[in-house]
């Protein structure tokens, strides 16, 4: 693949945390390393959207934070626009990076300083990066509020977060992320705390703006339907590893990994004539601290065989984009 076409390139990325004491298991192995992310690799082309999907504890949020340099990886490589991000460590360089890579938060009620007005909150990135004169800053603030459809702008400038609804706040969080004209946006469960009838508005707005600004985006969510709506490609994570990835439509229509299959079958269908089946996966979720060798899904997999307990499956390619980590694909 042409190197220049990928904004994000991640190779065997790892994030391990040392845990001081372990409440969950009295095991004889004194391992105290939490492998939140344990060797993941993927690429995102400029302007594409990637969904990081998986249940809680799979490492998707940690990955998102590494993509934004909020966490430093403990292993592997992360290339941003062909630059090795381990070379970005000086204050100025990090600040420049932050102009280009932004984050949308899950909880809109907490994401804005409660003592700031909307105007002040939106000015903050501009002040940090010294963007132009005061007048230019004010103009940018008005421009961005218009872009996220909070109109008339003057009604919102002097409001405090507690005076606004969840949907409005989330648009302000989006506005703040966009005001420095970034090229990369990570959205961590951007609508999970909003009322259902409001979500569509925010999602549609994000789609439209990402398209207009040619943003490369990563959506982190446990909601597969949301990822299908928003993302071109999808990565399914489980306990720090990627089990399946590829074009969203394809992975969802034609899942190969038993975990993906279970996830998709578990999503409740809004049609009362079609009843979901019970997912017969064993309940045992291993502690991420004491992982056995072999495939990480071994304890719960309905088709696990002897090899699965010994050897970690290599990535197999179903087609150019679609990859699965399983011993048993036919």
Partner 1 sequence: MALLKIEDLKIYYRSSAGITQAVDGISFKLEEGQSLGLVGESGCGKTTVARGIIRVMDKNAFIAGGKVIFNGKDLFGFSEDQMRCMRWKDLSLIPQAAMNSLNPVYPVIDAFNEILILKGGMDTDSAKKRAKELFLMVGLDLKRLYHYPHEFSGGMKQRAIIALALALNPKLIIADEPVTALDVIVQNQVLMELKKLREKLRVSLIMITHDISVVAQTCDIIAVMYAGKIVEKGTVFDILKNAAHPYTLGLENAFPNLKNANKSLISIEGSPPDLINPPNGCRFAPRCPFQIKDCRQEEPKLIEVNPGHYSACFMMSEIENIRKKAKETETWIKIDA
Partner 2 sequence: MKTKNNLLFSIKHGVISVINFFKRDKFAMVGAFIYLFFILVAIFGPLFAPYSPFVMIKENGKLMFNQDPSIKYLLGTTNMGRDIFSQLIYGSRPALIVGFTAAFFVMVIGTLVGLIAGYYRGKIGNILMRLTDVAFGIPFIPFVIVLVAFLGPSIWNIVLSMALLLWRDTARVIRSQVLTVRERSFIEAARVSGASDLRIMLVHITPNILPLSFLYGTLAIGWAILTEAAVSFLGFGDPRAISWGYMLHDAYVSQALSRGSFGWFVPPGICIMLMVMAGFYIGRGSEEILYPRLRKMD
Which of partner 2, partner 1, none binds 95 (CB below 5-8 Å, type-dependent)? Answer: partner 2
Q: From 191, 184, 228, 173, select the one nearest 64 (Cα to Cα).
A: 184
CB nearer to partner 1: give 55 or 124: 55
**Secondary structure element (H or E) that encloses residue 315, with its range:** strand 315-317
Dihedrals φ, ψ of 108, to 5°?
-65, -25
Q: In this chain, which of 252, 296, 308, 326 binds partner 1, going by CB under 8 A?
A: 252
- Compute the Cα dihedral for 212, 217, 222, 227 and give only its sign: positive
* 224 belongs to the binding site for partner 1 (CB under 8 A): yes
Minimum Å gap between C-beta 152 and partner 1 is 13
Beta bridge mates, 3: none
| Strand segments (E) across 194-302 | 216-221, 233-238, 241-247
Query: Which of the ranges 78-86, 106-114, 211-219, 281-289 carries the binding residues for partner 1, by CB under 8 A?
Result: 281-289
Q: Which two tokens stand for residue 61?
A: 């949020």
Q: Is 248 in the site for partner 2 (CB under 8 A)?
A: no
Piece of 92-100, 135-143, 198-206, 209-217 that binds partner 2 (CB under 8 A) = 92-100
Give the shortest CB-180-to-partner 2 separation in angstroms. Answer: 8
- Residue ranges binding partner 2 (CB under 8 A): 68, 70, 91, 94-95, 98-99, 102-103, 105-107, 109-115, 124-125, 127-129, 161-162, 173, 176, 180
- Residue ranges binding partner 1 (CB under 8 A): 23-24, 55-56, 165, 167, 195-204, 222-226, 228-229, 249, 252, 262-273, 275-276, 278-279, 281, 283, 285
């Amino acid at each position: 693949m042409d190197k220049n076409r990928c904004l994000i390139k991640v190779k065997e990325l790892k994030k391990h945390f040392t845990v001081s004491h372990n409440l969950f298991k009295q095991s004889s192995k004194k391992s105290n390393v939490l492998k939140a992310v344990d060797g993941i690799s993927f690429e995102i082309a400029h302007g594409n959207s990637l969904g990081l999907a998986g249940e809680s504890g799979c490492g998707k949020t940690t990955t998102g934070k590494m993509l934004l340099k909020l966490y430093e990886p403990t292993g592997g490589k992360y290339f941003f626009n062909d630059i090795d991000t381990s070379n970005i460590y000086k204050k100025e360089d990090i600040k420049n990076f932050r102009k280009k890579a932004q984050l949308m938060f899950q909880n809109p009620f907490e994401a804005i300083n409660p003592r700031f007005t909307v105007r002040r909150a939106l000015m903050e990135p501009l002040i940090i990066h010294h963007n132009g004169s005061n007048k230019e800053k004010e103009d940018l603030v008005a421009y961005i509020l218009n872009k996220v459809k909070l109109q008339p702008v003057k009604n919102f400038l002097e409001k405090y977060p507690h005076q606004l609804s969840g949907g409005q706040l989330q648009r302000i969080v989006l506005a703040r992320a966009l005001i420095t004209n970034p090229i990369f946006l990570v959205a961590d469960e951007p609508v999970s705390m909003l009322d259902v009838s409001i979500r569509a508005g925010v999602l549609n707005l994000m789609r439209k703006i990402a398209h207009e600004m040619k943003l490369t985006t990563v959506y982190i969510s446990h909601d597969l339907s949301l990822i299908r709506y928003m993302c071109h490609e999808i990565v399914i994570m489980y306990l720090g590893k990627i089990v399946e990835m590829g074009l969203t439509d394809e992975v969802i229509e034609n899942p190969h990994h038993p975990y993906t299959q279970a996830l998709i079958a578990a999503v409740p269908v809004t049609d009362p004539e079609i009843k979901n089946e019970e997912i017969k996966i064993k309940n045992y979720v291993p502690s991420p601290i004491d992982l056995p060798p072999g495939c990480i899904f071994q304890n719960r997999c309905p088709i696990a065989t002897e090899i699965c307990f010994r050897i970690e499956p290599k990535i197999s390619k179903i087609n150019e984009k679609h990859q699965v980590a399983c011993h048993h694909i036919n």
